[in-house]
């Protein structure tokens, strides 16, 4: 089998099957805006069994002798996952060629998993010199071979003979993807200083676990703060934390549930008592800031514009996570800033 056919059919186990292929539930992706996106779209099509679409991502050099042969190559393939590495590019007369490191994990209908890895070459022809029909970025060739590594570790460091391109910031990319999937549609499209919301403020935190020995190496965590929205007097943000095992998760902020009593039941009057009745979590941080020196996140939620009524939280980084250590509440709408502390667990990290 030639390299192109191998690359296109690496996810398949060539065993005949009499049952019809059913479409997967994977979200549809057809993105030709970059070389990496084309590869992801190719395997999205294969995962969904949209074989005509998968066939269409190739240029004149097709991955099999005909379309029927291409489809038969995936008879036993149930699903496929793909990972891509850092893309390199090289210009030529009227074209740009991209090299994309790729690893895939093919799952058969019998539940067996096989990993393949290699490189794809894609071509983008200068649009100014084209005539209809337009030729988008397409796959020129590819070659994948069986790998004994796990899917994430099998991605080649580079493709071609040149120096390896800069490595991707995997934690940052995971955090971006998670944030945009959850909040991309509800947040503003730019930060107040006109940067895209997908570009977070990033911080690196070195620490030791509480049970670590003196000679144990430091551990590292990454904190990402994504701006979301600027309202009349409150700014919202979301935080993601990556540990040194590669796990990325969204921070949830503990907040106390409060029973606030006012004299004569008048919320505009004097506060009689503020009692903590429990705790809950919130995913959003209001008017927040991360202090790198103290390793704390502060939140400051104004209950109205003048700021005389508010709640403020202090979250301290300890043992790889952020914990609520102090919470202040100013429940009186009296024009004065006079908070009282309702939670205080503040201890040194």
**pLDDT of 90 over the 70 cut:** yes
Mean pLDDT of 6-10: 43
Is pLDDT at 14 greater than 90 in this prediction? no
What was the pLDDT predicted at 2? Answer: 41
> Per residue in 263-290, pLDDT tens?
988 888 889 999 999 999 999 999 999 9
pLDDT at residue number 166: 60
- Alpha-carbon distance 229 to 231, whole Å? 6
pLDDT of residue 179: 94
Greater confidence (93 vs 39) lies with: 39
Top mean pLDDT of 221-230, 240-249, 268-277 is at 221-230
| pLDDT grade for 213, boundaries at 50, 70 and 90 | confident
The answer to whether 327 and 339 are in contact (CB under 8 A) is no
Q: How confident is the model at residue 15 (pLDDT cuts 50, 70, 90)?
A: very low
Backbone Cα Rg of the chain: 27
What's the rounded mean pLDDT across residues 248-266?
A: 94
pTM beyond 0.85: no
Give the list of residues 6+ apart from residue 77 with CB closer than 8 angstroms, or none: 11, 12, 13, 46, 106, 107, 108, 109
Main-chain phi, psi angles of 16, to 5 degrees: -65, 145
- CA distances 281 to 18, 164, 222, 252, Å, are 51, 43, 21, 6
Pick from 306, 308, 312: which is nearest to 324 by CA?
A: 312
Please tell me whether the peptide bond between 133 and the residue prior to it is cis, using omega within 30 degrees of 0: yes
What pLDDT was estimated at residue 212? 80
Using CA atoms, how far apart are residues 5 and 1, in angstroms rounded to an integer?
6
For 16-34, the pLDDT digits (tens) are: 333 344 444 678 999 999 9
Question: What are the tens digits of pLDDT across the range 158-203?
Answer: 887 655 666 668 889 899 999 999 998 899 988 888 888 889 999 9
What is the rounded average pLDDT of the residues 331-338?
88
Share of the chain above pLDDT 90, in %: 64
Cα separation, 159 vs 103, in Å, equals 12
- The neighbour count for residue 273, using CB atoms within 10 Å, is 10
Give per-residue pLDDT as tens, 104-151: 999 999 999 999 999 999 999 988 888 898 989 999 999 999 999 999
pLDDT value at residue 164: 60
Q: Write down the mean pLDDT value for the chain.
A: 87
Residue 41 has pLDDT above 70, yes or no: yes
Measured between alpha carbons, how far is 22 from 152 in angstroms, rounded to an integer? Answer: 27
- pLDDT reported for residue 172: 92
96-106 pLDDT, tens digit each? 999 999 999 99
* Residue with more model confidence, 284 or 337: 284
Instruction: Assess whether pLDDT exceeds 70 at residue 1.
Output: no
């Amino acid at each position: 089998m030639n390299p192109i056919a191998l690359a296109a059919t690496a996810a398949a186990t060539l065993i005949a099957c009499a049952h019809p292929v059913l479409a997967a539930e994977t979200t549809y992706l057809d993105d030709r805006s970059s070389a990496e996106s084309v590869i992801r779209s190719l395997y999205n099509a294969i995962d969904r069994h949209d074989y005509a679409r998968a066939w269409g991502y190739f240029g004149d050099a097709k991955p099999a002798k005909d379309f029927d042969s291409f489809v038969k190559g995936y008879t036993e393939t149930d699903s496929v996952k793909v990972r891509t590495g850092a893309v390199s590019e090289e210009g030529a007369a009227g074209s740009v060629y991209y090299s994309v490191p790729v690893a895939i994990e093919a799952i058969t209908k019998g539940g067996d998993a096989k990993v393949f890895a290699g490189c794809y070459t894609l071509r983008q022809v200068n649009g100014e010199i084209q005539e209809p029909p337009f030729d988008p970025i397409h796959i020129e060739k590819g070659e994948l071979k069986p790998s004994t590594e796990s899917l994430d570790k099998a991605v080649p460091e580079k493709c071609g003979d040149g120096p390896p391109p800069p490595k991707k910031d995997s934690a940052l990319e995971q955090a971006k993807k998670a944030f945009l999937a959850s909040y991309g549609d509800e947040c503003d499209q730019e930060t107040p200083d006109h940067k895209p919301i997908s570009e977070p403020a990033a911080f690196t935190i070195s620490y030791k676990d509480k049970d670590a020995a003196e000679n144990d190496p430091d551990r590292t965590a990454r904190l990402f703060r994504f701006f979301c929205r600027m309202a009349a007097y409150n700014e919202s943000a979301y935080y993601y934390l990556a540990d040194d095992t590669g796990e990325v998760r969204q921070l949830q902020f503990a907040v106390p549930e409060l029973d606030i009593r006012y004299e004569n039941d008048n919320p505009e009057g004097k506060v009689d008592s503020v009692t903590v009745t429990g705790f809950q979590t919130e995913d959003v941080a209001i008017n927040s800031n991360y202090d790198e020196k103290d390793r704390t996140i502060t939140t400051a939620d104004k209950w109205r514009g003048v700021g005389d009524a508010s709640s403020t939280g202090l979250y301290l980084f300890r043992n790889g996570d952020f914990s609520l250590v102090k919470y202040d509440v100013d429940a009186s709408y009296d024009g004065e800033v006079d908070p009282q502390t309702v939670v205080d667990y503040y201890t040194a990290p």
